[in-house]
Amino acid sequence: MSQPLRLGRIDFVNILPVHLRLAATPALFIEARGVPSALNRQLRQGLLDVSVISSVEYALHADDYLLLPDLGICSDGPVGSVTLFSRQPMDLWAGRPVEAPFESDTSVALARVLLAHLWRLDCPLAPEGQALDPAATLRIGDRALQEAASGRWAHSWDMGQQWRELTGLPFVFAVWAVRRPVAQARPAEVAALHGRLLAAKAAGVADLPACAAEASRLLGGSVEGYLRYYKLLSYDLGPRFRQGLGRFFAFLAAMGQIERAPRLCFFGADGPQTAT
């Protein structure tokens, strides 16, 4: 009997609409939790078989992965949990560093795009805890939600909304991917896991109040606040979201952060599908 598939799960509450109703099936998969940057590394190194990963991880290593269709963590406007915070307006930032989080690769790449192309600011990104006199601090996931609720910051910019203002398109923060050798060697099991994820997503999205209640239990805060948050998010990866993802990859290629904008290749497809 083959070993169960190793499935990566983001250890943030934004994953609950997909994972809250995902029934444990030890014969098919086991879960490993971590922040996005850790899951990226583990999938890349073959320590996971299937995982939600940062969209920039796919851009960097597309030849190693196939995307699972109809699964993503996206927003068409505000996202609520990827936010740039500052105590000063942007006109006082020039030349000062922006503190970048350790948990996410996509959000850091998005910050570079927005600094260069929307805000026209020459602010270097510095690792969290290493910036001297930072102009702003980027926070993602649960920490972004908690910072927004703290009231400590005079200014904040929701990165999903800022991307929408730059491009008019939604933004894809994360995707689900399978390693190509695993997809080739174990297609039936990957298909079964993909089906379980889609069914769990449908059930979770249909019961966002339960997701909000669980988020409140885990982090504190009001159920109503988390319900508003989940209504900002989409967990699909339809044509318009793929278009936004393609535009993001084009920016990264033009800025030299990736060699080229990759095609979007999906598990189970007859051939690669390309974002347009």
Q: Contact 50/30 with Cβ under 8 angstroms?
A: no
- Regarding whether 89 and 59 lie in a shared domain, the answer is no
Q: Are residues 177 and 238 in the same domain?
A: yes
Q: Is residue 14 part of a domain?
A: yes
Kindly state whether residues 157 and 209 are assigned to the same domain: no
- Looking at the fold, whether 216 and 183 belong to one and the same domain comes out as yes
- Asked if the structure places residue 274 within a domain, the reply is no
CATH number for 146: 3.40.190.10
| Residue 143: domain span | 82-167
Question: How far, in Å, are 26, 104, 139, 193, 226 from residue 82 at the CA level?
Answer: 33, 10, 6, 28, 15
On whether residue 53 sits in a domain, the answer given is yes
Structural domain ending residue among the three candidates 143, 167, 191: 167
Q: pLDDT 10s digit of each residue in the chain, 276 long? A: 589 999 999 999 999 999 999 998 999 999 999 999 999 999 999 999 999 999 999 999 999 999 999 999 999 999 998 999 999 999 999 889 999 877 778 999 999 999 999 999 999 999 888 878 899 999 988 888 888 888 889 999 999 999 999 999 999 999 999 999 999 999 999 999 999 999 999 999 999 999 999 999 999 999 999 999 999 999 999 999 999 999 999 999 999 999 999 999 999 973 344 443
Query: Nearest to residue 34, comparing CAs of 48, 46, 22, 23?
Result: 48
Could you say which of 167, 185, 205 is where a domain stops? 167
**13 & 68 share domain:** yes
Last residue of a domain, one of 167, 189, 223: 167
The pair of three-digit structure tokens given for residue 33, joined into one six-digit string: 């939790």
Count structural domains, the chain: 2
